[in-house]
Amino acid sequence: MYAIVDIETTGGIAGRHRITEIAVVLHNGTEVTGTYQTLVNPEQDIPPFITQLTGITAAMVADAPTFEEIAPEFYELLKDKVFVAHNAAFDYSFIRKMLEEEGFPFHAKKLCTVKLSRKILPGKQRYSLGNLCRELGIAIRDRHRAMGDAEATATLFQMLLDNDLQGWIPELLQQHKGHQPLPPHLDKERIAELPRKPGVYYFYDRKGQLLYVGKARSIRNRVRNHFNFADHDGFENKLRDAIHEVRYEETGNELIALLLELDTIKRKKPPFNKAMKYWSRNYCIFCFTGQDGKLRLAIERYRTALQPIKVFPNYLMAREYLKELVDNYRICPQLSHLQSGQSTCFLSMEEGGCLRCTENADVTSYNDRVLEAIHDEEHFGSSYLIQGKGRHEDECSLVLVENGHYLGFGFHSLPVDTSDLEKIRSCITWRPDLPDVQYLIMRHLEKHPESRLVLSASAGVRE
């Protein structure tokens, strides 16, 4: 039984970007036997260029289920089926990563219709889905939407089945038979001893050099899943053969695992970590006072000295968010660096107008409105703890932020007295305040606002 899959995503890197739409066409080798389709709330912003490509907007996925909600049903749908996709490595990497995050170890035989088409239908000009379908006369009902592309891939796959005179499909499936072996230089009992708990794991070579760092909700499951199948470019095979030792640290929860993983990658730069070694959340929105005394909002490359209101992975996302802030609070777009050259701003032509251009507000009134907008961003300039599960029942994890700056994380015995900040600081291991960290904290608080414990000045917060 085949599951022909297509997904739409917020970007191209599994583990960093998320799925926005999934479609599956079930095929028994002769005909289509069923379909599955859903939008997915990615729980992160959809870049404008992705919306332009797919037509999927933030409004469309706002009420859609999260991947966490559909994971059990989706896993059962794919389990024990051959995974088929056009450029299968891309779709498979996202689905495997996200299923594993939800506790469903996923490994399946897979077929790529790009590779199959090159073998069974040679001589085509190009092998992208759009070009192949045009050459072969396959209609695509809705290009760059999951079900439209999945149905077209299913039609292409049927054509490949019908024309596979040399038996390429059975041969490729036979190559996937069974799992890849565990690292030959690593004791299998060592892997069996790994805990099924959240944390960070480390792979080392025979000289004790760090090769790779990863985070996991279940350390044992994630380590084993590295070696179920080789990656399409042989990455997992190379890593597997180089490993001589695995170590780990339990973290109690995923946020601490993410922060520890990121910090280690930035400091150690392991050769097999690709995605986050040089990754940086480059832009932020910040506030400053102009020569006329009015507060300005602006976008700039991230620097901690700017005391950013919010951090973004790219300029377009920062600008889109700033425009939404300007619209909601009727802040002048000219003083927010969204418009220049005109005598009045674009908001003055809309209902309600602009506080500066339409209502001619004085400095105090205008600044009060800007501060209202800023202070609604509860992470800005404030001091707080993020409390999470600890490594055992008698402790919790704590992330410390003072005056908007991340100071580090640690573990504290229960209960926590938030008025005793010196005791809290004593259990915190200092870590650098990176834009990547600010983004991870922001995303965590959007999903788990209840984990944020505000610290008052009376607790001894440093100015």
In a domain, 278, yes or no: no
Task: Assess whether pLDDT exceeds 90 at residue 327.
Answer: no
Residue 447, pLDDT score: 87
89 and 171 within one domain: yes
Q: Which residue has the tokens 């997904």?
A: 7
396 and 368 within one domain: no
Residue 352, pLDDT score: 66
Mean pLDDT of 96-123: 88
Task: Assess whether pLDDT exceeds 90 at residue 386.
Answer: yes
Domain boundary among 153, 175, 197: 175
Whether residue 371 contacts residue 365, with contact meaning beta carbons closer than 8 Å, is answered with no
Task: Quote the Cα angle for 359-360-362, to 5°.
Answer: 120
Most confidently modeled of 86-90, 345-349, 381-385?
A: 86-90
388 and 435 within one domain: yes
Q: Which residue has the tokens 């927010």?
A: 336
160 and 59 within one domain: yes
In a domain, 137, yes or no: yes
Residue 421's Cβ-count burial label (10 Å; 0-12, 13-18, 19+) is: buried
Beta bridge partners of 411: 397
The catalytic position among 27, 144, 226, 379 is 144
Domain boundary among 355, 376, 397: 376
Tokens of residue 198, six digits: 């959240």
In a domain, 201, yes or no: yes
Task: Assess whether pLDDT exceeds 60 at residue 179.
Answer: no
Task: Assess whether pLDDT exceeds 60 at residue 358.
Answer: yes
Domain boundary among 376, 409, 425: 376
DSSP 8-state assignment for residue 17: B
148 and 17 within one domain: yes
Q: Read off the pLDDT band of 278 (50, 70, 90).
A: very low
Tokens of residue 296, six digits: 């300005």
Instruction: Convert the pLDDT of each residue in 185-238 to its tens digit.
Output: 888 788 889 998 999 999 999 999 999 999 988 898 888 777 754 444 566 678
64 and 20 within one domain: yes
In a domain, 273, yes or no: no
Whether residue 445 contacts residue 452, with contact meaning beta carbons closer than 8 Å, is answered with yes
Q: Read off the pLDDT band of 13 (50, 70, 90).
A: confident
Whether residue 32 contacts residue 78, with contact meaning beta carbons closer than 8 Å, is answered with no
Task: Assess whether pLDDT exceeds 60 at residue 461.
Answer: no
Number of H helices, E strands in the chain: 16, 16
Total domain count for the chain?
Answer: 4
Taken in order 264, 265, 267, 271, the sign of the CA dihedral is positive
Q: Report CA dihedral (139, 141, 145, 147) to the nearest 10 degrees.
A: -90
Most confidently modeled of 47-61, 97-111, 248-262, 300-314?
A: 248-262
111 and 215 within one domain: no
236 and 200 within one domain: yes
Residue 255, pLDDT score: 96
Share of the chain above pLDDT 90, in %: 40
Distance of CA 53 to the CA centre of its chain: 19
CATH code of 44's domain: 3.30.420.10
Active site residue 107: no
What 3-state class would DSSP assign to 347? Answer: helix
Residue 380, pLDDT score: 52
Residue 379, pLDDT score: 47
In a domain, 31, yes or no: yes
118 and 6 within one domain: yes
Tokens of residue 394, six digits: 């008698």
Task: Assess whether pLDDT exceeds 60 at residue 180.
Answer: no
Q: Which domain holds residue 222?
A: 188-268
Residue 225, pLDDT score: 72
Instruction: Convert the pLDDT of each residue in 129-169 to its tens digit.
Output: 888 888 888 888 888 799 999 999 999 999 999 888 888 88
In a domain, 371, yes or no: yes
Residue-level length of the chain: 463
210 and 130 within one domain: no
CATH code of 228's domain: 3.40.1440.10
In a domain, 181, yes or no: no
In a domain, 351, yes or no: yes
Tokens of residue 124, six digits: 């085509």
Task: Quote the Cα angle for 323-324-330, to 5°.
Answer: 85
Most confidently modeled of 258-267, 307-316, 321-330, 368-377?
A: 258-267
413 and 369 within one domain: no
Summary mean pLDDT of the chain = 85
Q: Read off the pLDDT band of 425 (50, 70, 90).
A: very high
Residue 232, pLDDT score: 45
Task: Assess whether pLDDT exceeds 80 at residue 242.
Answer: yes
Residue 203, pLDDT score: 96
152 and 16 within one domain: yes
Q: Read off the pLDDT band of 175 (50, 70, 90).
A: low
